[in-house]
Structures are given as C-alpha cells and as structure tokens.
Structure 1
Amino acid sequence: MKRTSLANWPCSLARTMDLLGDWWTPLVLREAFYGIRRFDEFQQELGIARNTLSERLRRLVEAGLMEKCVYETMPVRHEYLLTESGRDFYGVIATMTAWGDRWLAGAAGPPIVARHDTCGHDADAEVVCSHCKQPLTSQNVTPRPGPGYPPKLLERPNIRRRFHIDDPDRQPADLT
C-alpha cells in the first residue's frame, strides 16, 4: 500500500511529517545526537530491522539531514553524520522530549535530562517567539498564510475560514 505524500502540501509541518514518515526516523536522529554514526551501532541501539534502518538512513541522506561518508576502504564501510540541517533538527527532538517528560513520564520523573553545557544546568526545551522571547501557545498564536502559501488556495472557502480572511475582527492588518 503506497502512502500519500505530503511533500507538496502548503504546510511545513505536513512536509516534515512526510520526511519523518514513521517513529523510527526521529529515533535514528536521536541516536545520531547521542553520537552514533555507524550502521551496526544504530541497529544495535535501536533493535531495528536492518532493511528498515537502511531505508530510514537512505531517506535521511536523500533529504539532506545526514551524509554518508566512507570511513574504511577495505572493505568499504560508511558512517552517517548529521548535516547542518540534521543538527538543526535537535530543537524538534528536544521539544518533543519536553512534552513527553511533562505528559508521559512516570512519578519518578523524566528518564533522560539534558544538561546545557554552556551554563551547566539541566534544561527543558521551550518554544518562544523569535522577536519578544515570550512563550508561544495555541492561545496566543494566530496562523496566517505566509509568502510561500499558494495564492490559488486562498480563493477556497475552507482556507479563507481557516485563516479568518473574511473576518475583519480576526484578520491580521497586513493580510491582503
């Protein structure tokens, strides 16, 4: 059964989920953040089937989050290194972990804590406004079409409702 691609949706979350595709991909990235680089190490740490791991690593390399580099020539062996794009995914992993720590950890507390090396304290990820640094919540954020949103879609009634385009009380002033 072929899955529907979300790669061309006008939504960065949908495109990201299209890339991730399943639960193994973020776990492969988590292991890369722990310093795992070699196929056998990923396989051993995750207990993932070799064919599944091969596919996930191939997809991460193809998407530019990891690069496959030769570390031995006889026989040829590769390691998988995070690219700039892959390293930038750390915030996603940290935010998902913080949510899990809050809502899924048992009474004993989070199973893993993140030590911020710069200040020496344990830290949780927070999502804040890039301008004022205040927390972003579903109650204080209003989605609106950005410059990459397809203009043709803005003609659809359901999209106009989603972004409150016909509601002058909720419409952002600079949205045309």
Structure 2
Amino acid sequence: MAKRKSLADSPCPVARSLDVVGDRWSMLIVRDAFDGLRRFGEFQASLGAARNILSDRLRTLVEGGVLEIAPASDGSAYQEYVLTAKGETLFPVVVALRQWGEAHLYARGEKHSVLVDRATGKPLPKALLRLEDGRVVRPADTLVKKVRARP
C-alpha cells in the first residue's frame, strides 16, 4: 500500500487533523470506541475491516494520541484500545458527522441509529456552533486567516 504524504507540518489545522483521523476506518474506530469497543476483535467484528488495515489505523490513532493501549480490563493477557482525553474531544466531531448524515443521507422516515441522552433516553438536540452573542455561526460569518506555508 502506498504511503500517503504526511500533513503533520501543514499550517492548516484541518489538514493536520485529517492526517490523524482523516479516513473512514479511523473515524469508525473512534465511533466504536465511544460506543465502548476496546479490543481488536471487537473493532474487526463491528467494522469488517481487513486485519492489516485495522492494525494500521489503530497504530496511527495510538501514535496520534487519540487512543492508548492498556492492559485488558478483565485481567486477561489481551490488550485494549482506550480513548485518551485527546480522543474524547473528538466527540463533537462524531456527533456533527452523525447529525449531518441524519439530515442529508436518509430518506424521510428511513430508520437509523439514534444518539440519545443516557439519563432521559431522548435524542440529542441538533448541535450548532454559536457566537458569543448566541447567533448561530454560518460560513459567511467566518474568515480563515491563513499563514504562509514554510518553505
């Protein structure tokens, strides 16, 4: 498999982020980790990814500080992949992707999984970015101040 060009030195935060979590397998691993999966076999059963691809993505997520390897919680000889504090901050990203998919990729009335509040059982409200004054942020309200790429 060809090695992709690293974006780790990019002046763009989106590019650097995608260097760590920018493919579907990585984000699905993170999603599954939020759902409580921890072992290689659990991820493989959930995702159906080839072992080499899953191993590579898990390694990248560990190297990127999104997951860490820990001894199995049941005391067995296995190891588990656990979200780090850094990895847990991806939760709003996963929620945003979920809500975008719900809004744009399902026919009206088509069934899909639903993210609910554990305490109430009610679906989460739509997540919106807001300015300090409470207004919802729209693309036209923002501007990216770019820096020059290093030579």
TM-score by length of 2: 0.86
Q: Match for residue 137 of structure 1?
A: 138
Aligned-partner residue type, residue 51 of structure 1: N
Cα deviation 1:48-67 (Å, max 9, x = unaligned): 11111111111111111111
1:117 aligned counterpart, secondary structure = coil
Pick which of 65-74 and 31-40 moved more. Answer: 65-74
Shift in alpha-carbon separation, 1:125–1:84, aligned structure 2, 3 A: farther
TM-score by length of 1: 0.74
Aligned equivalents of 1:2 and 1:59: distance in 2?
Answer: 12
Aligned equivalents of 1:130 and 1:110: distance in 2?
Answer: 33
Aligned-partner residue type, residue 114 of structure 1: L
Question: Which 5+ residue runs of structure 1 have no aligned equivalent?
Answer: 155-176
Computing the radius of gyration from Cα coordinates, the structure with the larger value is 1
Question: Which 5+ residue runs of structure 2 have no aligned equivalent?
Answer: none
1:98-117 to 2 correspondences below 5 Å: 98-109=99-110, 111-117=112-118
Aligned equivalents of 1:140 and 1:25: distance in 2?
Answer: 31
Higher RCO (C-alpha 8 Å, min separation 6): 2
Quick one: percent identity of the two aligned structures?
34
Shift in alpha-carbon separation, 1:54–1:63, aligned structure 2, 3 A: same
Q: Match for residue 86 of structure 2?
A: 85
Report the number of matched residues.
147
8 Å contact from structure 1 (residues 101, 110) kept in 2: no
Pick which of 83-92 and 130-139 moved more. Answer: 130-139
